[in-house]
Amino acid sequence: MILQAEDLKDTELANLLRRNGVLITARLQQLGIMTVEMPAGAVVQIAASRHVSNLSSNREIRVLGTGHIEMTTGAYDVRSQTTSSGASYTLDGTGIGIAIVDSGMDTGHILFKNAAGKSRIVYSQDFTGTGLNNDLYGHGTHVTADLAGYASSVDAGYNGIAPNANLINLQVLNSQATGSTSALLNALNWILTNHATYNIRVVNLSLGAPAIQSYKNDPVCLAVRQLVNAGIVVVAAAGNNGKDSNGNKIYGMIHSPGNEPSAITVGASNTYGTDARNDDTVTTFSSRGPTRSYWTDSSGVKHYDNLIKPDLVAPGNKIIQAESDGNYLVTNYPTLDAGITTSTNKKMMYLSGTSMAAPIVAGAAALLLQANPTLTPNMIKAILMYTAQPLAGFNMFEQGTGQLNVEGAVRLAKAIRTDLPASPTLGTALLNTSTPAAQDTIAGYTFNWAQGLLLNYTWAKGSNLITQWQGIYANGVVLGDGIVINSNKTSLSFNTSIMTSSGVVLGDNIMTSAGVVLGDGTIFCSDGVVLGDGVVLGDGVVLGDGVVLGDGVVLGDGVVLGDLYAQSSKVLINGDNTACMKPR
């Protein structure tokens, strides 16, 4: 314990400590501080004494190499691991290949080297036609460091989530952060062709375009689906269109490929710069669901996908990470430079967005795969959602199941059997140990796991989701979609008897969280609120497909709800899109 007093030589203080069996281990006379050891039963009496100014715990102090995102996500807490045979290892993404599809990387930045000083960028390719530019824009370098930066010097000072993963640099955005769908598709095709060569298990997409086409037809979504079916985890940013120019919340602005059910779609949380998670919220800019991509039938009627997205949120506000030299962002907005150093290839900068949140989740996926290489993409997605921390006051369209919890996710991943058969039957025992406690303490704050998953238009809850094999965890099956495809390419309707075991409860409402578990809190949208085109509510008022009627939506005189745009005094639901790919 740390004891502060105005007079360390006070005889009454000395007598108080002696009577209570307190051992003084050090006196820091100039500071008015003593370090002491005392019985637990004496703490209250000594803290209340008028001779003691303050009594606090002797907290652990850690090296500066650990950064905020490593601490607040719990990644730091899982670094030291042991195998089943007792061997020690560091959980840092070693051996896992991660493809970052972005504006390139500053290949000389110190954060991309390993402990031996060797670059971890194992492959680079330009798909823009402009030539590899070493990230003249500055986005891809920051994204990569969020995911896998290694703080090898005091100047750098900030680890990413998987700081020893191998990096595959695929440039699809130019020096102005613009790109094309064809460039992105070429990069995804390259990954599908070469993933085995570089052991690419994770892909990060901190970019996108407004989701116009249904995921069933969108070529980027279809390409993402192929990658996931091949056993590759794909993480996508939700987008930064959570509010309009007046600060009003907007719903329905998830961008492509974040609208793809097989992707892990990530929104942004605000940690307010503290490691403790009790004050965390969803950022105002983070795009909200439901997905508003659509297809049009032969009669010209639009059918919106309306899936619950994002899947979860992660820190994405004022994140400090690697700055590429001379980049466009800092050149035009000098205040983005974090001022940590002026040394070439060691600079750091601030950025905010779901672009920063997505790679934090991608790094977490890499840790899960290092801890348990047998996990399928759907199992990783389920683990991340099940162990997330629900943030109080935010609904499922805003936070998914909650905020990323790396410590809990790794603990659950290690508990899952590595000897599962190739095609487990529904209900097969999933764990190699007892059911993990569904609770974590990170940076001194204790919280419950969400203990549930989002599935297409609803959510599922129950401990059987992690104790028994579910059909929705298999490759070739879509976890968040109403239609699943088995290994024989046979279409199966989603129903509990085929895809989920007994003991799994499906919800029928979109909830506003009370911060305890998934499905608690108040109802945000009640059952049956997604109405098809042409449904008439009252004289002359037509509600388009996907218009949400629930808590916080007020219908009044003069409010017109149409196919693409629904507005009220409290909630905006926007389906109007334009075609432009940009970083998130």
Convert the pLDDT of each residue in 154-179 to its tens digit. 444 589 999 999 999 999 999 988 88
Asked if the model's pLDDT at residue 281 lies above 90, the reply is yes
Report the share of the chain in percent with pLDDT over 70.
Answer: 84
Encode pLDDT of 244-273 as tens digits.
989 999 999 999 999 999 999 999 999 999
**Regarding predicted confidence, which is higher, 212 or 364?**
364
pLDDT tens digits for range 375-393: 999 999 999 999 999 999 9
Split at pLDDT 50, 70, 90, the class of 581 is very low
Inform me whether the pLDDT recorded for 285 exceeds 80: yes
Look at residue 583 in the predicted model and tell me its pLDDT: 64
Q: What is the residue whose two structure tokens read 């095609």?
A: 423
366-370 mean pLDDT: 98
Judged against a pLDDT cut of 70, whether residue 62 lies above it is answered with no
* Residue 396 clears pLDDT 90, i.e. is over it: yes
At residue 397 the predicted structure's pLDDT band, cuts being 50, 70 and 90, is: very high
Q: State the pLDDT at residue 398.
A: 97
Average pLDDT (61-68) is: 46
Rounded average pLDDT over 503-508: 85
Q: What is the DSSP string of 429-462?
A: B-BSSSPPPSEEEETTEEEE---EEEETTEEEE-
Q: How far apart are CA 476 and CA 376, in angstroms?
A: 10
Whether residue 485 contacts residue 478, with contact meaning beta carbons closer than 8 Å, is answered with yes
Residue range 18-28, pLDDT digits in tens: 999 999 988 87
| Per-residue pLDDT at 69 | 92
Q: Output the pLDDT for position 55.
A: 87
CA distances from 538 to 147, 391, 534, 542 (A): 51, 37, 12, 8
Looking at 77, 92, 102, 337, which residue is catalytic?
102
Share of the chain above pLDDT 90, in %: 68
pLDDT average, residue stretch 351-358:
96
Q: Is a pLDDT exceeding 90 seen at residue 51? A: yes
Per-residue confidence (pLDDT) for residue 576, from 0 to 100: 41
Handedness of CA 113, 116, 120, 122 (dihedral sign): positive
User: Could you give the maximum distance between any two Cα atoms of the chain, in Å?
Assistant: 92
What is the average pLDDT score of the chain?
A: 85
CA distances from 92 to 48, 205, 546 (A): 44, 21, 42
pLDDT at 318 exceeding the cut of 90: yes
Parallel, antiparallel, or unpaired for β 88-90 and 54-56?
A: unpaired
Helix/strand/coil percent split, the chain, to 5: 20, 25, 55
501 noted as active-site residue: no
Q: How confident is the model at residue 340 (pLDDT cuts 50, 70, 90)?
A: confident
Contact 510, 521 (CB under 8 A): no
Give the pLDDT of residue 58: 67
- pLDDT at residue 572, rounded to an integer: 53
pTM: 0.81
pLDDT digits (tens, 9 = 90+) for 114-134: 999 999 999 999 999 988 889
Residue 152's pLDDT is 72
pLDDT in tens, 514-560: 999 999 999 887 654 443 343 333 333 333 333 332 222 222 222 22
Report whether pLDDT(484) > 50.
Answer: no
Asked if the model's pLDDT at residue 306 lies above 80, the reply is yes
Q: Mark whether 102 is an active-site residue.
A: yes
Question: Cα–Cα distance between 579 and 530 in angstroms, integer?
Answer: 26
Nearest to 388, CA basis, from 377, 399, 375: 399
Q: Which of 51, 68, 109, 139 is catalytic?
A: 139
Compute CA distances 17 → 35, 42, 148, whole Å.
12, 9, 49
- Rounded-to-integer distance, Cα 100 and Cα 7, Å: 58
Q: Is the pLDDT of residue 563 over 90?
A: no
- With a cut of 80, say whether residue 109 has pLDDT above it: yes
In degrees, rounded to 5, the angle at the alpha carbon of residue 161 between the alpha carbons of residues 158 and 163 is 70
Q: Where are the beta strands (DSSP E) in 477-557?
A: 483-485, 491-493, 505-506, 510-512, 522-525, 535-536, 542-543
Cα separation, 372 vs 410, whole angstroms: 9
- The pLDDT of residue 509 is 85
Selected catalytic residue, list 152, 269, 293, 355: 355
User: Taking 60 as the threshold, does the pLDDT of residue 363 lie above it?
Assistant: yes
Q: Is the per-residue pLDDT at 475 higher than 80?
A: yes
Mean pLDDT of 209-217: 90
